[in-house]
Structure 1
Amino acid sequence: MPPQLLPASAAAFAPRASSVNVVLGSKIEPWLTQTLKRVNKVKRPLNSVPQHHRCLTEILSSPNAIWTLTSMMLPKLPDSELRTDSNPLVEAMFNYQLIHVEAYIVHVDMVLRNEVAYKLTPDTIEALIQYHKDIHCVNAKAGTYEWSEKEQQAKKLHEDFIQAINRFVYRTHVSALEGLEEEGAGELLCGKSEEVKNNITGLMKPLLPPPPRIVDVVRQPPLLPSSPVGSIWSQSTPSPALPAPVEAWRVLPSSPSVTSSAESNTPIWANMAFSEVQLPSPTPSYSQPYSSAGLFYSSSMASAPIPALPLPSMLAPQCGVSVGYGGFGWDSRFQEYAATM
């Protein structure tokens, strides 16, 4: 893409130069020759490129060489102060104004880009800035809700427009010089004025309020049955561990033969068969005296780990009629024991 060649007079806030920068090619188009002959009051020779260059530069550098790029119908008052009337003509006269967007040519290039560059006049820039401040910004603030930095944003919006309208340079094809009139004035042809109007309207930005703040909602994860014990509830409020409930039938009665080494409440009948339980004989000469402590606890049983035994109700079928006297060792001594009694 060729570089954009613009003179210093096209910069923002730069004054108008005394001479227009004109660049012509080695061959002059016939339409340019006819245009220059039409606008010149005094006939001048136009037989070479330097003669065309000199004539065009003098015409465009004239103080009266002001072009009307477009005309914009803009409101005079903010929307809240507009007058309402049954006659549309009266309403338009009191509520709207016509601003002519005028500019002067700062650059003509017929070699690289074949374009003409226009810069707005100081009067047009001042009129557009005043409209933006008194009407556009007021409507923009009235159309948005209040927030803490609204005035600062509106002020910045106006300052940005001032910079943009002073930097505004409209470029169009060199064929626009066909609309050249006497003393260098002219108007844009072929519907280009509508394009200028859209470009200037695009510089008037709306006042955008800040987006609403998004509040993060912290949701607790659902407590599923498969969740581990150390969930967020147990970690947040730890509670002291409670002892497991002890069934009543596991509690051992107090007995002198029970030692302090018993640390488990496991039942004593875990590994004991009914055939191992021996009752004492009637006389001390045959067996040891009968003691009920052996049925409940012994030191040899407490020394080894004892697995859990089912509930006593599960042993009921074994303690029924099928258990005879032979299971308790009474088959051989029952007669002797009965005689002693």
Structure 2
Amino acid sequence: MPPQLLPASAAAFAPRATSVNVVLSSKVEPWLTQTLKRINRIKRPLNSVPQHQRCLTETLSSSTAIWTLTSIMLPKAPDAELRKDSNPLIEALFNYQLIHIEAYIVHVDMVLRNEVAFKLTPDSIESLIEYHKDIHCVDISANTYAWSEKELQVKKLHEEFIQAINKFVYRTHVSALEGLEEDGAGELLCGKSEEVKANIMGLFLPLLPPPPRIVDVVRPPPLLPSSPAGANWWSQSTLPSNVPAPVDSWRVIPSSPSTTSSADSNSLWASMGLNEIQLPSPTPSYSQPYSTSGLFYSSPQVSAPIPSLPLPSMLAAQQCGVSVGYGGFGQNWDRYQEYATTM
């Protein structure tokens, strides 16, 4: 895309130049020739490109070469001061005014971009600045809630509008020169005035207040398994202090009977109470049922003969684990042969 070149007179707050910058191509369009012949009171020769350029430059550089870009209907006072009437025609007459937005041409380019650039006149700029300060800023301030920096934001918004309206340059196609009239004045055709109106009204920005603060709700921290507050929920039940740790029978009683082991085991199991014993769980599948009557073991109820009897060492280890609290092991070991014959 070719660069957008503008003269120094198009900058913000720059005064109007004494001469308009006009650049024509090597071939002049027929419509431009007809337009220049129509507006010139004195017949001037237009047979070459330099003649067209000189005629157009002199015409647009005249102090009377003021174009009317658009007309905007604006209120005369803030909303709170407007007159209220049942007749809408009376309200329009007393409450609104028509401001004509005027501009002059600062640049004509028929080589790179085929455009013409307009800059607003100082009178139009001053009218728009007064409306923005006295009416627009008052309305937007009244329609928003108050906060600490509200007046500062309104002032800043007005300063930004002053800069924007002074920088405003309207660019359009060079065919807009067909609306050229005598003495260099003119008017935009083909609905271009509505485009200018939309661009200018877009510079009247609303006042945006800061969003309301969101109050953070303080919530208690979640109870996790590792937190002290939830320790009672997850702690497992512990054994009472008076219950000793379980003791494996094979670590206390040897697998084979002997005189020393029988005596020691007899005194050991007699000194322990019933509530201090920890039975193995689950019970081995080959344990024999017992009966509490008479402290004697009953024979197992089977429907088929037992193929083989357990060894004495195995029987002794099993009975030591289940007969605690019901008598010494030595008293029952002497009657082992009697038990074996009844089985």
Cα distance change, pair 322–39 in 1 and its aligned pair in 2 (3 A): same
Q: Distance in 1 between matches of 2:90 and 2:59?
A: 42
Gaps (5+ residues) in structure 2?
A: 284-288, 298-326, 335-343
Aligned to 2:331: 329
In the alignment, the residues of structure 2 paired with residue 119 and residue 268 of structure 1 have an alpha-carbon distance, to the nearest angstrom, of 105
The alignment's C-alpha RMSD in Å is 3.7
Asked whether the 8 Å contact 2:269–2:328 carries over to 1, the reply is no
Q: CA deviation at 1:120?
A: 0.1
Structure 2 counterpart SS, 1:72: strand
CA separation in 2, counterparts of 1:137 and 1:326? 108
Q: Distance in 1 between matches of 2:333 and 2:202?
A: 119
Task: Report sequence identity in percent.
Answer: 68
CA 1:62/1:330 → structure 2, altered by over 3 Å: closer, same or farther?
closer
Q: Is the 1:269–1:309 Cα contact (8 Å) retained in structure 2?
A: no
Aligned residue in 2 for 1:260: none
Map 1:134-149 onto structure 2 (within 5 A): 134-149=134-149
- Separation (CA, whole Å) in 1 of partners of 2:105 and 2:50: 20
Could you say which residue in structure 1 is the equivalent of 2:57?
57
What does 1:38-57 correspond to in 2, within 5 Å?
38-57=38-57
Equivalent in the alignment of 1:258: none
The aligned counterpart of 2:270 is 295
Instruction: Flag structure 1 segments of 5+ consecutive residues without an equivalent.
Output: 251-264, 279-287, 298-306, 333-341
Give the whole-Å Cα distance in 2 for the aligned partners of 1:98 and 1:117. 24
Instruction: Tell me the residue number matched to 2:322.
Output: none
State the partner residue of 1:21. 21
The corresponding residue for 1:8 is: 8
**2:290 touches 2:296 (CA, 8 Å); kept in 1?**
no
Structure 2 SS opposite 1:105: strand
Closer/same/farther in 2, CA of residues 51 and 326 from structure 1, 3 Å limit: closer
Report the CA distance shift for 1:245/1:101 in structure 2 as closer, same or farther (over 3 A).
Answer: same
Q: Which deviates more from structure 2 when the two are superposed, residues 317-326 or residues 85-94?
A: 317-326
Deviations 1:165-207 (Å, cap 9, x if unpaired)? 0000000111111111111111000000000000000111111
1:118 is matched with which residue?
118
Deviation at 1:267, TM superposition (A): 7.2
TM-score computed with the length of structure 2 as normaliser: 0.73
Pair 65,270 (structure 1): closer, same or farther in 2 beyond 3 Å: same
Using the TM superposition, give the Cα deviation of residue 321 of structure 1 relative to its aligned residue in structure 2, in angstroms.
Answer: 2.3
Q: Contact 2:125–2:166 at 8 Å: present in 1 too?
A: yes
SS of alignment partner, residue 233 of structure 1:
helix
2:227 pairs with 1:231: yes
Q: What does 1:241-320 correspond to in 2, within 5 Å?
A: 246=240, 250=243, 265-266=244-245, 295-296=270-271, 309-310=278-279, 319-320=292-293
How many residues are matched?
Answer: 289
CA contact (8 A) 2:105 2:116 kept: yes
Shift of 1:329: 2.3
SS in 1 for 2:294: coil
Mapped to 2, the partners of 1:37 and 1:232 lie a distance apart of 98
Distance 1:232 1:137 in 2: 59
- Specify the code of the residue in structure 1 equivalent to 2:22: V
Take 1:294 and 1:47, find their aligned partners in 2: how far apart are those partners?
138
- Aligned residue for 2:278, secondary structure, equals coil
CA distance in 2, matches of 1:49, 1:92: 50
Rate the CA distance shift 1:331–1:294 in 2: closer, same or farther, 3 A.
closer
